[in-house]
Structure 1
C-alpha cells in the first residue's frame, strides 16, 4: 500500500489532536468545577456567634483548597442569611439548591430553623449537615436519611451537667429558658434526667421567656418568690446578659446553685465582663486552657488570619467544613446518596480532637467542655474545664431505635 501523502497525514493527526482536546477540555473543566456548599444561617439575628463561625468556615475552605481540594475540585462556599425564621429558611434553602446549584447544604443556628431545613433536605433528597441547632428532634424524633448534626445536642450537654446537678443534692429547682424548641427541649430533658437520678426533687418554678425579649426584672422576681435552692439556666446571648445583670443587682441567685447551658462560651461570657456570673457550672469553650496539638494548630491559624482568639462559633464553623471535606473525599464527590453513606461512621479530626458521625442517629460525637465560671482580670472565664467526649453521654444504638422512628 502506498504511503499516505504527508499533507493528508498531518491533517488526520491535527483532526485527532483536536478531537482529543475537545474531549479532554470538558473533562478538565469538569474536574476543576467547584463543589458548592450552600450555607444558611441567622447572621443578622445572632452575630456574636455567627461572625466567628463564618470566619472559621472561610479559613477551613482556604486550607482544604490549598491542599488540593476534593480530588482536584475546590470547595466554594455560598452563604445566605435565613432570617432566623423557618419559612424564610426553607425558601433560602430552595434558592441555594435550585438557583445556586449547591451540591450540599449546611448551617442553621436556631433549632426551629434547623428542623425546617432538615425537613426540606428530606423532601428534596439533599444532603444537610446541621452545624449548630441543638434540638434532639433533628437526629431522633424527626431524624431523616439526609440530615446529620455536628454540635453536641441538647440532650448531650444536659447529660454533661447532670453529675454536677446530682452531686449538689438540691431539692428545690427552678428553670429559666427561652420559649422555643431549643429551650423547651433542654428543660424537658433536664427534668427527666434529674428526676430519674433524684426522685425527691421538686421543680418549683419555670420561666419560659420569649427569645430576645426577656423581661429580666419579672424573671428575677419570679425566682425570688419561688425561693429555689438551685437553678437550671438555658438563656444565652443578650437574654443571658440581661438576666445576670438583674440577678446580680437584686441578689436573686446569692447562695443558689446554678447549672447552665452555653454560658461558658466566650461569645456570651466576654460581653458581661466583670458582671459575669461566678460559681455557675456551665458548658462552654475555654480556648485559653486547651493544650492539645489539634487545638493549638487551629488556634494558631485562626489568630494568624484574624488577629483575635476564636469563639465557640469558630469551632463549629471550622469543623463543619472539615467534616464535609472528609465526607466528600470518602464519597468520591458530592453524589448525595454516596455522601449519606460516607457520613455513617465517618471519622473526623477537628480542633477538639477525633470524633465520628454515628450511623444509628447521624449525631457527631464531638464533645464539649464543662467548668465552673469565675472571673480573671475583670472578665469571665471557665475554671478547671474538663472535656466530655460526646460518645460518653449518648444513648446506645439500641436505645436510638426507640428514639428515632425512621431508619435509613
Structure 2
C-alpha cells in the first residue's frame, strides 16, 4: 500500500494523524496479524510536500517502482486530485482521507476513488442550518485560496442561503499565511453577525489566536469546522461557547471500535487520537474489509466489492455510496466547553446527525 500525504509542510500534523490512524486500522481489521488473504500488508509512505506535482511523481514512483496495489491519502485536496488521475491511469484503488474537497466525489470523480473522509458538503449539511437559525443571518466566509477553500465556500454558502442567511463576502487567504490581520480587518469592516472560518493547516493556531486578539469573538459569532487539538489549544478559553461542526473528537463516539482506538492510541503515543486519526483508521479498516470481500487486490474486483459496502469504524457505521463512492457516516454539531480534564476547550455534543441526514446530493456527471 502506498500512502501519499503531506509529511512536511502546513498539513504535516494532519498527515501524522492520518498515518497513525491508518496503521491502527489495518491492525484492528486484521486482528493484529497485519495480513490479509494470507499475505503481509506493507505500508510505504511518501511525502507530497503539499505539492500536486510532487504528489503525482510520488504516485508514479509507488506504482511503477514499488508495485503497490492500493493508494491512500492525502491531507491536501489539490494533491488528491493529482493522485486520483494516476490511480485512474494505472487502474488502482485510491482510498482518500482526509482530503475533503467535494470535487473528488463530484465533478472530478473517477471509479477508482473511494473516500472514507467526510467532504465539505457533509460538513455544510451538518452546520449550515444550525448556524443561520442559532447564530445569525449575515455571514462572511473566510477560507484558504486553494481548491479546498473555494469548494468549501461553494458547499456551505448555498446552504446558508437556503435557510435564510446572506453571505456578504467570501475572503480567501493564502494557505501558508503567517499573518491574518489584513483579512480579519476586512471582516471587522464588513461587520457580519457570523464569521464562518474554513481552514486547514498548522497555521490555524495563528489564525484563531488573531481572531481572539482582534476581538472578533466579542464582535460577532465565530463558527467553524472544529479543528484538531492544536487548533483547540490555540483558540483557548475565548472560544468557549462557540458552535461548529467536528468530524471527530475522541470523546464523542460510543462504540467498541472507538474504545479500542482511544485505548491503543494513548498506550502507544501518550495522547488520545486526534481529528484525522479516526479517518485514517476508517481507511485502513475499509481497505482490509474490501480485500476480504473481493478476495483480491485488483481494482476490477475491489470496485464492485466496495460499492455499497458498510463497515464499522470509529464513528460508527460507514457506507460507500455506489453512485459516488463517498462514505456516508455520522456527523457532529458541537459546542466548545470548558472541561476539568482538559486544558483547552473541548467539543460537547449538541446533535449527532445520521449518515442519511448529511448525505450530499449525488453530483457525478453521467451517474
- The alignment's TM-score, normalised by the length of structure 1, stands at 0.83
Closer, same or farther: CA 94–146 of 1 in aligned 2, 3 Å:
same
Q: Is the 8 A contact 1:267 1:311 kept in 2?
A: no
- Equivalent position of 2:182 in the other structure: 218
1:244 to 200, 205, 208: 208
2:316 to 341, 353, 359: 353
> RMSD value over aligned CA atoms?
2.0
Q: Is the 8 A contact 1:345 1:359 kept in 2?
A: yes
The 5 A counterparts of 1:301-316 are 301-316=264-279
Partner Cα separation in structure 1 for residue 297 and residue 31 of structure 2: 16
Deviation at 1:206, TM superposition (A): 2.5
Aligned with 2:110: secondary structure?
coil
Closer, same or farther: CA 289–348 of 1 in aligned 2, 3 Å:
closer
Q: Is the 8 A contact 1:370 1:386 kept in 2?
A: yes
Q: Cα deviations across residues 273-309 of structure 1 (Å, max 9, x unaligned)?
A: 6355222222223313443333112211222222221
Q: Is the 8 A contact 1:179 1:211 kept in 2?
A: yes
Closer, same or farther: CA 244–230 of 1 in aligned 2, 3 Å:
same
- Equivalent position of 1:40 in the other structure: 4
Closer, same or farther: CA 68–340 of 1 in aligned 2, 3 Å:
same
Aligned with 1:206: secondary structure?
strand
- List gaps (5 residues or longer) in structure 2: none
Partner Cα separation in structure 2 for residue 172 and residue 235 of structure 1: 20
Aligned with 2:216: secondary structure?
coil
Q: Which has the larger radius of gyration?
A: 1
Q: Is the 8 A contact 1:220 1:243 kept in 2?
A: no
Partner Cα separation in structure 2 for residue 248 and residue 62 of structure 1: 41
Q: Is the 8 A contact 2:135 2:193 kept in 1?
A: no
Q: Cα deviations across residues 249-272 of structure 1 (Å, max 9, x unaligned)?
A: 221231412221133x324213x1
1:386 to 348, 351, 358: 351
Q: Cα deviations across residues 335-381 of structure 1 (Å, max 9, x unaligned)?
A: 11101111101111111112111111100012332201233354121
Partner Cα separation in structure 1 for residue 319 and residue 138 of structure 2: 38
Deviation at 1:97, TM superposition (A): 0.6
Q: Is the 8 A contact 2:180 2:210 kept in 1?
A: yes
1:54 to 14, 19, 23: 19
Q: Is the 8 A contact 1:155 1:189 kept in 2?
A: yes
Partner Cα separation in structure 1 for residue 67 and residue 318 of structure 2: 30
Closer, same or farther: CA 356–202 of 1 in aligned 2, 3 Å:
closer
- Equivalent position of 1:204 in the other structure: 168
- Equivalent position of 1:280 in the other structure: 242
Partner Cα separation in structure 1 for residue 328 and residue 349 of structure 2: 22
- List gaps (5 residues or longer) in structure 1: 1-36
Q: When the two structures are aligned, how many residues end up with a matched partner? A: 362
- Equivalent position of 1:95 in the other structure: 61
Partner Cα separation in structure 2 for residue 54 and residue 385 of structure 1: 29
- The alignment's TM-score, normalised by the length of structure 2, stands at 0.92
Q: Is the 8 A contact 1:152 1:367 kept in 2?
A: no
- Equivalent position of 1:235 in the other structure: 199
- Equivalent position of 1:79 in the other structure: 45
Closer, same or farther: CA 406–122 of 1 in aligned 2, 3 Å:
farther
Partner Cα separation in structure 2 for residue 157 and residue 282 of structure 1: 9
Greater per-residue helix proportion: 1
Deviation at 1:318, TM superposition (A): 1.3
Deviation at 1:383, TM superposition (A): 2.2
Aligned with 1:312: secondary structure?
coil
